[in-house]
Structure formats: C-alpha cells, structure tokens
Amino acid sequence: MIQQLINKIQKTEAPIVVGLDPMLDYIPEQIKEKAYKEKGETLAGAAEAIWQFNKGIVDATYDLIPAVKPQIAMYEQFGIEGLIAYKKTIEYCKEKGLVVIGDIKRGDIGSTSAAYAVGHLGKVTVGKNTYKGFDEDFATVNPYLGSDGVKPFIDVCKEEKKGLFILVKTSNPSSGEIQDKLVDGKPLYELIGEMVSEWGREHMGDSYSYIGAVVGATYPEMGKILRKLMPKTYILVPGYGAQGGKAEDLVDYFNKDGLGAIVSSSRGIIAAYKAKNYEKFGPEAYADASRQAVIDMREEINTALVKGGIK
C-alpha cells in the first residue's frame, strides 16, 4: 500500500491528504436541513448530514489528491450511526481510487491492540466466514504503550499489505509536556523516531517502509531532525493551515527525492467556504471552495519544495 500511496502522490503531484473531520458546525445549512427532514434531528440525521457533506467534498476533490484521512472521533461522537457514516465514507473513497488513512490513534496492551488491528486493517473470523471491519488502508497508532501495543498492528499490515503512521511528535501545543522530555539525554520523540525507523527497516516497501510516522507541521525544527533520523520512513504531517503550519516550514520533512512526506489539512479544506479567501463560493458551493483550497495548497507546497531545492 505504501507504494500505491507514493504512485498516487507522484501522479497527482500532490503530497496532500484531505482530512475528513466533519463537525456539524462546518456543514452548510442546506445539507443539515435535508438530512434532518429525512431522519429527524437525531443521531441518524447527523450521520446522514456528515455523509452527504463528505460525499460532496470527495466528488469535488478526488481527481486532485492521493488520499483522505477521516478522523474517527468526528464520527464516533454520533455513536453507531456515526460509525456507519465512517464506514460508508471509507468505502466511497476507495471506490473513487483514494488511499484511506484512518486517523484512529489506537494502541493498547497486546491483545487489545490485536483486536483494533483486525477491526481496522485486517479480517475477523466468525465461524466459517471472514469479514473486513472498517478496512482502511493505513491507520494512525499511538506507540506510548510500547512495542507490544504496536507489534499487532505491524503483523496485520504485513499480512494485509497495509500501513501505519505512528505518532512520534504531535502537532498540538502541549505535545512537548511529554514528548520533549529528555530520556537518557535525548528527547522522547527522538527515541520513538528511532524505534519507528527500526520497525520500518524490517518492513520495507520498494523504497520506503510501510511503517510511517506522524510529525506535526507546527514543529519544523523537530521535523528536520526526525527526517534525518528516519530516512526511509514516510511522514504524515498534520497541523497545516488551521493549526498554523505553513508550506515553507515543511521543506525539511521531505527527502531529496521529493518524497517522504504527505501533508494533511482538514478544516482548511473542508470548511474552506467559511474562510475569507473563499467566501465568494458561499455555502451552496462549499465543495467547489474545497476544490480550490486543495489546488492552492498543492501550489503552495510545490512552490516551497522548488524554492527549497527539493523538486
């Protein structure tokens, strides 16, 4: 799957993931009204609204991008109905040829991680039958329970030819409270980066490992260090746009081959119609605003890569 992701990045010339984080506040009134008319102001109504909203965005952007990253929390808040919308979104994105990165941030003791891995990336056996649960292509994993929490995900990825992005240095303001603490004289995120690189060495695709890392766009100095520490690791870079990450800060997350990083933006794309730059589109044309925001993000990143001597 890592090579498929790379091929799509090269084909679209867009090292970009669109984050599908459909908060009700971002969904235009006409979509919510229709969904509530059909299913009421209920969890089912909310789930219908987020599904229709996602569908509009995917239809408007799928030809420009390699991948999407649905954030499971935005669906889980609506209970089972929300999870059905999550699954429908995954299936639809795959039909459209997109790679799906499930932002699930799981990780637990070994036996529980194994169940998460099966449910999201693998197959479960029921009597004589086997079923795929959510069936994302990649999942995000929290490694802070240690290797027994990560290994079950790696085993399923090997079996299913899928991949992971393991949290190394997250984009949020307080990530340093834990992740920057010195352990044996080194920041914890560097130690985790070394572990991810080591796991990746044993699980290589053609040129990059299918065991990737998450490094936030909001910490470019650390991104530069981690790029060198994990040369064969694909880096998922959240925090672009709404959290303040800028294209010119991201050049050092890439390798000289122009690959090695994929930048994620959620609110900056899906709620673009609410931003000043795109307000001319209005809520009716929210999906066109998202399309324009993807085109602009691609241009910003590629221009920064050219200026930085990467492309």
**Quick check: 213 and 195 in contact, CB under 8 A?**
no
Q: Between the CA atoms of 97, 100, 237 and 227, what dihedral angle is there, to the nearest 10 degrees?
A: -80
Residues that bind ligand LLZGTKA7 (CB under 6 A): 19, 21, 71, 103, 170-171, 214, 216, 238-239, 241-243, 264-268
Smallest distance, ligand LLZGTKA7 to C-beta of residue 270, A = 8
Helix (H, G, I), strand (E, B) or coil at 1: coil
Residue closer to ligand LLZGTKA7 by CB (options 89, 114) is 89
Instruction: Report d(CA 250, CA 254) in Å as an integer.
Output: 7
Taking CA atoms, 41 is separated from 27, 47, 49, in Å, by: 14, 10, 10
Q: Based on CB atoms, which residue is closest to ligand LLZGTKA7, 114 or 188?
A: 188
Residue with smaller CB distance to ligand LLZGTKA7, 19 or 119: 19
Instruction: Write down the least CB distance from residue 273 to ligand LLZGTKA7, Å.
Output: 14
As given in the structure block, the two tokens for residue 194 are 């070394």
8 flagged as catalytic:
no
**From 105, 123, 132, 274, the catalytic residue:** 105
| DSSP sequence for 27-58 | S-HHHHHHHHHHH-SSHHHHHHHHHHHHHHHH
User: Nearer to ligand LLZGTKA7 by C-beta: 20 or 46?
Assistant: 20
**Shortest CB 39 distance to ligand LLZGTKA7, Å:** 25
Sign of the CA dihedral 195, 199, 201, 205? negative
Complex with ligand LLZGTKA7: residue 122 or 216, whichever CB lies closer: 216
* Angle between helices 188-201 and 220-229 in degrees, nearest 10: 40
Least distance between ligand LLZGTKA7 and beta carbon 82 (Å): 15
CA proximity to 75, closest of 96, 103, 95, 55: 103
CB of 240 to ligand LLZGTKA7, least distance (A): 6
The pair of three-digit structure tokens given for residue 250, joined into one six-digit string: 């991201």
**Phi, psi of 225, rounded to the nearest 5 degrees:** -65, -45
Q: Which is nearer to ligand LLZGTKA7, 44 or 213 (CB)?
A: 213
Alpha-carbon distance of 21 to 218, in angstroms, equals: 19
CB of 80 to ligand LLZGTKA7, least distance (A): 21
Q: Which residues are catalytic?
A: 105
